[in-house]
Chains A and B, each alone.
Chain A
Amino acid sequence: MRSFLSTLLLTAGAACAADPRESDYYPIQPLPNPSQHVLEIGALTHTPDGRIFAATRRGDVFQVSDALGPDIATAKLSRYASGLHECLGLAWKAGSLYVTQRPEITRLVDEDNDGRADLFETVSDGWGITGDYHEYAFGSEFDRHGDLWVALCLTGSFSSQTDYRGWALRVTADGKTIPTVCGLRSPGGIGFNASGDAFYTDNQGPWNGSSSLKWLKPGSFAGHPGGNDWFKLTNAIGSRPPEPNDQSRMVKERERVPTLIPPAVMLPHARIGQSPTAIICDTTGGKFGPFQNQLFVGEQCYSNITRVSLEMVNGIYQGVAIPFVEGFGSGIIGMTLTPEGKMFAGGSDRGWGSRGGKPFNLDRLVWTGKTPFEILDMKATPDGFVLSFTAPVSHETAGNPASYAMEAWTWAYRAEYGGPEVDQVTPKITAAQPAPDGLSVKLIISPLTKGHVHYLKSAGVRSSTGLPLLHQDAYYTLNEIPAA
């Protein structure tokens, strides 16, 4: 086994030596931590005046100053608060830091300006906790209405033993807590796309064959019926949806359960990750590279970040997941992206192992200004997909159907934990038609399967300067096939 592996690694190493690497475009820069604080990051945010706040699973909040300059070594950490209960959400508004911790959302204010919070005001504690470790509460930034969202893990994988476990709630500026979406299993993060709609990541498990990114459309059912008993406490989103049938398919159950919305983007289990977490949107207007308005999704197990581009077809979201950057020191849980285009990501391997080998990390990811050759976007068409690129392709490679390969599949929708990929299809790429400017290519594909992930590998595509794609894999979740 060992000799086989090392041969494989050597071959891979040799093949990659001359190829561009992620770090040529997006280097990972660990923040200095001379005081050796335990930085098991659970959430990150930034302030208009350029500070970063980092909250940890141990219940500390750190303030990071001077972290946006060219040299990360200037960054300074100081403890802003401590004694909180597993912080997994941060938002800043008008001098107040809003921390989502296990029992509540709390507003922190440094009233005497000594660099440490003095006021810890409960904004909402409108959900139950039993004392089970699994009952995590992930908080959001403020949405376009000024509301905070909180995504509540079930009690374990299957059941909801106290109020609103397995729900997403909204908390308004005046402190009202509004049950908004049911059917969550084990959220890992919550965020908004460029148009302000809320999304969360859910982890592989019961009723979730793979991890995914799901749209938190108010009133919808996200797929796990474990928390549906709490309709007895609220009529905020109507009546309890019918139970989904076990051992079914999402595409089928959508017809039976009207409020069931399929995951916007599947994050195929064990292919690009195993435990997705934070969601942030690039609204920097190009300061973070070419991926404007796209989402970046953290991943705890694989210690990487996946890029997601969404489109709305027939009233629901779908889109593509493409690997972005890997190699963080520990499992990513919290992320933030400043208007200056500095991304911060951190997390820990505690309780759930992660790649990287470090118990925790807090890193900065910056764009060097050099544009990687990447699939910029992938959009569904009635007869295939249109790929766009960050740089012109060579017509010869991009126009050759043999430069691409596609597989499609879905997962069983079932009460049992996780599930294998099922219903495999091998779609044929019948034509590849590059645009005259080389910035996009139209792929004609047959068949397209509604509800399947369509995995495109573009191994043969080269840029006009001969570069291979930095990431050849793209996973498109085809919830709806656009009408002709």
Chain B
Amino acid sequence: MTLSRLAFLLPALLPLPLVADDLPVITIRTPAGQMKYDRPVITATPGTQVKLVFENLDEMPHNFVLCHPLPDKKDKGLEVAQLAWQLGAAGMDKAWIPDSPRVIAHTGLVAAHQKEELVIKVPDKPGVYPYVCTFPGHAMAMNGELLVLQTGPGFTGLNYQLYLGDWNQLPDFDQLTPHRSGPIADKTLTIELEGMTQHFGVRYDGILPVPENGEYEFHLASDDGSQLFINGKSVLKNDGIHPSSQVISRKVNLEKGPQKIRLDYFEGAGQEELYLAWSGDKFSETPLSKWLHPARNNNSGTKAEDNEFTGIPLAPENGEAVLYRNFITDTGPRGIAVGYPNGVNLCFDASVMSPAQFWQGAFMDAKRHWTGRGNGPQPPLGYDVFKAAPAGQSLAILPETNTPWPAPAERPEGLHFRGYRLDAKRFPTFHYEIGSVTVEESYRPAGEIKTNDLRVTRTLKFKASQPPAQLHFRAAAGPLKAEGAGWAGDGFRIIADQGQPFLRGEELLVPVVFTGPAAAVAVTYHWNP
């Protein structure tokens, strides 16, 4: 926290041109349980200062470290995060900030539900500057990019003529008498004139200083209609009644020196918005209007709220599991997602009797399904998603050791879902049948997100009056590599707790061996490699 306070004091100690309160503000938040920044991209102008507000809404600590890019590749700041990790035991004291020339600015380690403010001096050189959370294990998911963009010049003079009227198309302002006219003091296109909100039109006349001969591109969006003229020639026309969602663009060749820009605009009723910007070889899209278009990448610091999470997050409560039965990505339509109190989540597919995926952190966002008609599948809300096996069933009879695993089927023959039972903590045990064998499949989560040792033990108990031979449990499939007491897969590690697994190509199979009418197998999936 000392560091941040120091950064905050800098403007007062040094002869900097602006005081912190006047600086453009960029807010970055870390939503709960999602292991990400809410803004993967922010922008700023070279050589300026911005105030960063870093708000940690998560249950674990995070930081924000702005880095110089590597000269030859985009590394998302991972190298800096690696250096932080190498601090080892000393890391915590240093807020996981490594001593590296790549670090431009950083917060301290911001605890859960705390926030910190930081004044950043934006580098003079345009480019893409990564930012990253250097707390060990976070950088792969928690990173973003500061786009330092060179901006072009604005108007050197700007006048307006305001007209009153109710139109569906741009009128011919030449035939009309303006209600009022005058200069616009800050030389930026604005429609906040005379407090008008509907039934008006404006003609803007401005002088734009073109820095050198060459090609420039103009970008126009408006609600309602507008038309751009350069030196008397129509360049862009976006007439009629419409929202501002569509930005139209056109390239024009211009000579160095002051050029006459005319923009005609009218507003019928409802929203009123006007966006004009230009870009050139030496500068990126630079707004000439006060209103910034939400779909353009030059609106840093003005629309942070656009990125706010507005979902319906579901979370385990009171130490109990939470269930969500719905359409979930990469799962058949009979998905049953389970969120456990320690941050382990999984989605059981009751079409094929197999867990479709596992993830950590936040559970599910129900907004897609609980607003409107609720179409489409919803992805997990958390992070570090892994699939222990590709789509398909987890149990099959393999008469021969080389019988291929059954191809994925929507509802495999012989498998029947029978429901689930919740225990005292509302943890489900799934019940189903394969042929004449009844199966009870349960999951026991363990570990903690904080200590980065989350894992979940999957146990299958079988009962059959006439046990089948050659019943196999496929615990994992995909690229698997023997490692220590188990096998490493893509994003997970698996250890057998009960049963004798063997690797068959890319499949980790466990024979289901009955003792009398009963059998059991168990494996544990770990996130941490």
Contact = CB atoms under 8 A, between A and B. Distances in A.
Interface of A: 38, 57-59, 82-86, 101, 103-104, 106-107, 117-122, 125, 128-134, 350-352
A59 B371 CA distance: 13
B161 to A, nearest CB: 34
A350 B372 contact: yes
Contacts, number: 70
Q: Is the interface of A mostly helix, strand, loop or mixed?
A: loop
Contacts of B359: none
Given A83-B322, A85-B325, A85-B326, A133 B421 contact: no
Chain B interface residue number, banded: 20 to 34
Interface stretch (B213-221, B412-420, B502-510): B412-420
B334 A59 contact: no
B284 to A, nearest CB: 41
A81 to B, nearest CB: 9
Interface in B346-387: 350, 366, 370-377
B2 to A, nearest CB: 44
Contact of A83 (B324, B370, B418): B324
B415 to A, nearest CB: 11
B67 to A, nearest CB: 42
B373 A351 contact: yes
A58 B333 CA distance: 16
Contact of B420 (A120, A131, A132): A120
20 contacts: A38-B370, A58-B366, A58-B370, A59-B324, A59-B325, A83-B322, A103-B350, A104-B417, A117-B422, A119-B421, A122-B419, A128-B410, A128-B411, A129-B333, A130-B333, A134-B373, A350-B371, A350-B372, A350-B373, A352-B373
B278 interface: no
A121 B419 CA distance: 4
Contacts of A118: 421-423
B339 to A, nearest CB: 10
Given A129-B334, A133-B375, A101 B327 contact: no
Contacts of A132: 375
B521 interface: no
B323 interface: yes
Chain B CB count within 10 A is highest, among A103, A121, A350, for A103
A131 B377 CA distance: 7
Interface string B322-350: 11111100000110100000000000001
Contact of A122 (B333, B371, B417, B422): B417
Given A83-B325, A131-B327, A131-B377, A106 B419 contact: yes
Contacts of B370: 38, 57-58
A462 to B, nearest CB: 46
A121 B417 CA distance: 9
Contacts of A85: 325-326
A59 B431 CA distance: 20
Contact of A120 (B327, B374, B421): B421
A125 B410 CA distance: 13
B323 A125 contact: no
Nearest to B366: A58
Chain A CB count within 10 A is highest, among B322, B333, B372, for B333
B372 A131 contact: no
A125 B417 contact: yes
Contacts of A82: 322-323
Contact of B422 (A84, A101, A120, A133): A120
A158 B366 CA distance: 28
Q: Which 9 A-B pairs have the closest CB atoms?
A: A83-B323, A351-B373, A133-B375, A85-B325, A121-B419, A122-B419, A131-B333, A129-B333, A133-B373
A373 B241 CA distance: 53
A152 to B, nearest CB: 14
B343 to A, nearest CB: 18
Nearest to B424: A112
Interface in B256-288: none
Contacts of A352: 373
Nearest to B411: A128
A301 to B, nearest CB: 14
A333 B336 CA distance: 25
A83 B421 CA distance: 13
Contacts of A120: 419-422, 428
Nearest to A123: B419
B327 to A, nearest CB: 5
Nearest to A107: B419
Given A83-B322, A83-B325, A125-B334, A351 B421 contact: no
Chain A CB count within 10 A is highest, among B326, B371, B411, B417, for B326
